[in-house]
Structure 1
Amino acid sequence: MQLTINRIDTRYVLDNEGGGPWVVFIHQLAGDLSVWDQMAGYFRNDFTVLRYDLRGHGDTTALPDAFTIDDLADDLAELLDKLGAPSAHVVGLSIGGMVAQKLAINHADKVGSLTVVGAPAFIPEDARPTFAQRAASVRENGTASIVEATLERWLTPEFRKAHPEVVKQIGETIARTPAEGFARAAEAVIGFDARDKLASVRKRTLVVAGEHDVGTPHAASKVIADMVPGAQFELLNAAHLSPVEESRRFSALLGGFLRDSA
């Protein structure tokens, strides 16, 4: 399904068989809504589940202009408005976790609870050149050129060996991501910093990190839990994509958190 959000044709999938409270899942950089397919299966009977593609990812278009993480949060706020959602439990992975934090800060009325997965509270200065280099490299060589290196960061060697079909599907999604969409999003990540407002978040908050995540070390995620009053922090035996690697543990953890947030 498609809606025009802030002049952008946005793809979304809405599963509302359960007719319960809204849950929105936000995907990672160079991903799309398919990373949440399994979670949608777990939660669709008890919740109204929304997944969508970020600007310039999957089947969502992008304007030629630069954008920020705040802009991506504004996109989600408008999408929820247009779909008639009073508010939603917000679950974000990687860049999606950055968007989730900004939604909780800038559009608190839209957020029932906040779950941040594999995301930091800010991008440190020494990490910013890495994202700039990735943006430049993808503009020159395309997203297919980063598939192998990205999969090595996102998934542990043990998982990649045991689940080649999952690895293949995620790799294909990376390769399909439009180069300019990836580059603009990577550049948006460079300027991300939520530290000055996280202490003002008054929503129940769950922060999940992967013990083997080299891209976003779990200490960087714990900063969020330390800053948001009453936040819960959980460490899973995974790399960056803990909802994929540890899907059963993640779904059980999230399910318990959402039931307690009702």
Structure 2
Amino acid sequence: MEIQSINYNSHTVRYFRFGNPDGQPFVIIAGVAVRSVMESAEFIRQQYISFEKDYNVYVIDRRTDVYDGYDINDMADDIIHVLDSLSVRNADIYGVSQGGMIAQSIAVNRPDIVRRLVLCSTGSYVNDSALEVMNKWRKFAENHDAEKLMLSFAENVYTPAYCEKYYNAFLKLGELLTEKELDRFSIIVKCTDKFDIRSKLNCIQCPILVIGAENDRIFGTEPSENIAGLTGGELYIYKNEAHGVYDENADVLVKIKNFLDKN
């Protein structure tokens, strides 16, 4: 699977595509990650293997040259440029965590691009609990303390059972991270600080599915409930699941496919 890129205004945004070239466009926007999602292309393709027959799946990264002051609107503009360059319209957009914030911005500013919107473990603003966690991550990243960052990331994103199962893998990834990757992560995390799109959510007219998790230590459930309430979207809260329910529970993709099939 080839990693491709779109260049515009001296910026580069990478993406990869899989599935049915003639299928319904399905765009995945991931959350913050210590390493580019482009490094996990094959894993992601396997995770979404059930979408390959009917969907033309795009996974789009943040731009390669992030800088202090880069924000959610910039990230949304980057993805819009990629989709415009690829002539993608009426796509199903799936945004996870920070990716959900980006997806909301796209739906507000370019409704012609979005046919249906799926948001998981995200918010229309950054609440106090999310800000506290992200500030902690940023501090670890700025200090280039990869081990503390990875352990905090695992603890706040995943369930205790998942953390225990993959404890050594999280530590190993921390050992492999470069200072450049940590600096990039710090900037991307900071992008969420002032995000608040609540006043514009009534502009979103497409069908919306909002997925949250009862034990989300970053956002909690209130932001998910807020989005669904302001948009009239469909809401599902998983019991006994954490922020990273999108990675831990395969039923999330079943819920998404069922939602897309009926809308």
Q: TM-score, normalised by structure 2?
A: 0.86
Instruction: State which of 217, 225, 240 in structure 1 corresponds to 2:220.
Output: 217
Shift of the alpha carbon at 1:216?
Answer: 1.2
**Aligned pairs for 1:70-149 within 5 A:** 70-124=73-127, 128=131, 130-149=133-152
Shift of the alpha carbon at 1:169?
Answer: 6.9
Instruction: State which of 214, 236, 239 in structure 1 corresponds to 2:238.
Output: 236
Preserved contact between residue 66 and residue 187 of structure 2 (Cα < 8 Å): no
Aligned to 2:48: 40
Q: Distance in 1 between matches of 2:157 and 2:171?
A: 10
Q: Distance in 2 between matches of 1:11 and 1:146?
A: 25
Shift of the alpha carbon at 1:118?
Answer: 0.4
Aligned to 2:69: 66
Preserved contact between residue 143 and residue 178 of structure 1 (Cα < 8 Å): no
Q: Which digits, 9 at most, give the CA deviation of each residue in 1:224-257, with x for residues without a partner?
A: 001013x00011242111121111x111100011
**Aligned pairs for 1:144-223 within 5 A:** 144-161=147-164, 163-164=165-166, 168=169, 172=173, 175=177, 178-223=181-226
Gaps in structure 2 of 5+ consecutive residues: none
SS at match of 1:54: strand
Q: Which digits, 9 at most, give the CA deviation of each residue in 1:83-103, with x for residues without a partner?
A: 121231000111001101111
Q: Distance in 1 between matches of 2:19 and 2:84?
A: 16
Match for 2:115: what amino acid? G
Q: Which digits, 9 at most, give the CA deviation of each residue in 1:95-142, with x for residues without a partner?
A: 001101111111111111111110111113675465345324312225
Shift of the alpha carbon at 1:82?
Answer: 1.1
Relative to structure 1, is the Cα distance of residues 216 and 3 closer, same or farther in structure 2, using a 3 angstrom cutoff?
same
Q: Which digits, 9 at most, give the CA deviation of each residue in 1:162-216, with x for residues without a partner?
A: x539x82797389468122212222210011010001221010000011211111
Match for 1:51: what amino acid? V
Q: TM-score, normalised by structure 1?
A: 0.86
Aligned length: 252
Relative to structure 1, is the Cα distance of residues 45 and 127 closer, same or farther in structure 2, using a 3 angstrom cutoff?
closer
Preserved contact between residue 130 and residue 219 of structure 2 (Cα < 8 Å): no
Q: Distance in 2 between matches of 1:92 and 1:101?
A: 8
Shift of the alpha carbon at 1:259?
Answer: 1.4
Same amino acid, percent of matched pairs = 23
Q: Distance in 2 between matches of 1:220 and 1:110?
A: 24
Relative to structure 1, is the Cα distance of residues 110 and 6 closer, same or farther in structure 2, using a 3 angstrom cutoff?
farther
Preserved contact between residue 141 and residue 182 of structure 2 (Cα < 8 Å): yes
Preserved contact between residue 18 and residue 45 of structure 1 (Cα < 8 Å): no
Preserved contact between residue 73 and residue 102 of structure 2 (Cα < 8 Å): yes
Gaps in structure 1 of 5+ consecutive residues: 56-60
Relative to structure 1, is the Cα distance of residues 124 and 240 closer, same or farther in structure 2, using a 3 angstrom cutoff?
closer
Shift of the alpha carbon at 1:30?
Answer: 1.8
Preserved contact between residue 6 and residue 75 of structure 1 (Cα < 8 Å): no
Does structure 1 residue 256 correspond to structure 2 residue 248? no
Shift of the alpha carbon at 1:18?
Answer: 5.6
